């Protein structure tokens, strides 16, 4: 399987994350990608190639223009305001408050952020653009006839909505790739999100559309981030009614429980009959992940890769979460190798 990788992700070297009431080193760190890339090469999964540049047009098909302008200039505005640390929002336009965009960076952060754990730091914008190019180059490989392709994206993307960042995600790599594939002629695209956390951003982007089917398996939002989306009764609106499927699962869910939800989601996807599948590949469902509560083993990742391969649909895998850093490479590559063993 082709892997697309860029060292542009190293431009994002955030120092701070708000977690458990403390500022800690970020769980989403560059080492995650290094472990995955080492495993890809060690197992000879396939060729590793750099991305092409696709510019901003595909991004603007998914993300709001004002939001993109904010992301591009946020760090410079933060520095000009004289703040010593990294940019973290401190206030939000909550219920019964004016939904107006402030002129000061402190207010802009709150307007465009859906959560407070993710700091914006030097290089965040450049790294996010690079991750999009990685995803789109992998999507092009499918257009060129590949059965599967792996986008080794960093930062991840599935929490980023059209006009909000959240959960280490700034641009939604999977959604941008899905839209690009539609624009290139794919009649129907399905997105399967297997990250522990609900893909709230992806759901938000496609919620009123019937040409992109979205399914997410995740920790019950009553207990798990992002808390305010991901419930089973969220099934789409308007033209999108019936094209959104959520599978919130309980604390301690192991592979037998998790895989039943996956089989149901794959059945829905098969009935949708997509031309291409995009998988938001988060491996924070692993039993030792520090910020999650599912109990999948490394062997389980191979098993569910085989199930996805059984769809026989060209598939783009885009890296999302996974914070048991030393095991992330094994778990990611197990999914990809499992898929390839069946889909070839």
Tell me if 259 sits within 8 A of 304, measured CB to CB. yes
- Using the structure block, give the residue that is written with the tokens 């778990």: 331
d(CA 139, CA 241): 26
Q: What are the residues whose beta carbons fall under 8 Å from the beta carbon of 32, sequence distance 6 or more?
A: 154, 322, 323, 325, 328
From the number of C-beta atoms within 10 Å of its C-beta (0-12, 13-18, 19+), residue 335 rates as buried
Question: How many Cα atoms sit within 13 Å of 15 on the Cβ side?
Answer: 6
Q: Which of 9, 27, 63, 159 is catalytic?
A: 159
159 is catalytic: yes
Q: Where are the beta strands (DSSP E) in the chain?
A: 2-4, 17-19, 22-24, 48-49, 148-151, 189-193, 212-219, 244-249, 276-281, 315-319
Which residues pair with residue 286 across a beta bridge? 296
Taking each helix axis from N to C end, the angle separating 124-143 and 173-183, rounded to the nearest 10 degrees, works out to: 40
Ramachandran sector of residue 216 (left: φ over 0; alpha: ψ -120 to 50; beta: rest): beta
Q: What are the residues whose beta carbons fall under 8 Å from the beta carbon of 193, sequence distance 6 or more?
A: 158, 174, 199, 202, 214, 215, 216, 217, 218, 279, 280, 282, 320
For the chain, the 3-state helix, strand and coil shares in percent, each to the nearest 5, are 40, 15, 45
Residue 196: which of 148, 235, 253, 151 has the closest Cα? 253
Number of Cβ atoms within 10 Å of the Cβ of 341: 12
From the number of C-beta atoms within 10 Å of its C-beta (0-12, 13-18, 19+), residue 88 rates as buried
d(CA 224, CA 218): 8
Report, as residue numbers or ranges, the catalytic residues: 159
């Amino acid at each position: 399987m082709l892997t697309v990788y860029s060292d542009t992700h190293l431009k994002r070297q955030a120092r701070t994350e708000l977690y458990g009431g403390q500022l800690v080193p970020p769980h989403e760190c560059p080492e995650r990608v290094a472990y995955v890339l080492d495993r890809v090469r060690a197992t000879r999964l396939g060729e590793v190639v750099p991305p092409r540049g696709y510019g901003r047009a595909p991004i603007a098909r998914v993300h709001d223009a004002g939001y993109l302008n904010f992301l591009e200039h946020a760090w410079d505005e933060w520095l000009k305001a004289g703040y010593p640390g990294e940019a973290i929002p401190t206030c939000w336009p909550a219920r019964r408050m004016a939904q107006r965009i402030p002129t000061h960076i402190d207010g802009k952060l709150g307007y465009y952020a859906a959560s407070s754990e993710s700091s914006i730091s030097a290089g965040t914008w450049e790294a996010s653009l690079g991750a999009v190019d990685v995803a789109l180059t992998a999507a092009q490989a499918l257009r060129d006839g590949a059965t599967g392709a792996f986008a080794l994206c960093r930062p991840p993307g599935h929490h980023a909505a059209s006009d909000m960042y959240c959960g280490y995600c700034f641009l939604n790599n999977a959604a941008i790739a899905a839209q690009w594939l539609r624009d290139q002629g794919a009649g129907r695209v399905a997105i399967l999100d297997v990250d522990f956390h609900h893909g709230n951003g992806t759901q938000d982007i496609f919620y009123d559309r019937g040409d992109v089917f979205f399914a997410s398996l995740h920790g019950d939002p009553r207990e798990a981030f992002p808390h305010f989306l991901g419930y089973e009764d969220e099934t789409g609106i308007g033209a999108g009614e019936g094209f959104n499927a959520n599978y919130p699962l309980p604390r301690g869910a192991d592979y037998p429980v998790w895989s039943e939800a996956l089989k149901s989601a794959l059945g829905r996807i098969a009935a949708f009959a997509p031309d291409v599948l995009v998988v938001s590949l988060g491996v924070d469902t692993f039993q030792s992940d520090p910020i999650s509560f599912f109990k999948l083993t490394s062997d389980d990742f191979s098993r569910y890769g085989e199930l996805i391969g059984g769809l026989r649909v060209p598939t783009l895998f885009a890296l999302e979460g996974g914070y048991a850093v030393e095991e992330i490479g094994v778990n990611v590559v197990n999914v990809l190798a499992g898929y390839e063993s069946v889909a070839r």
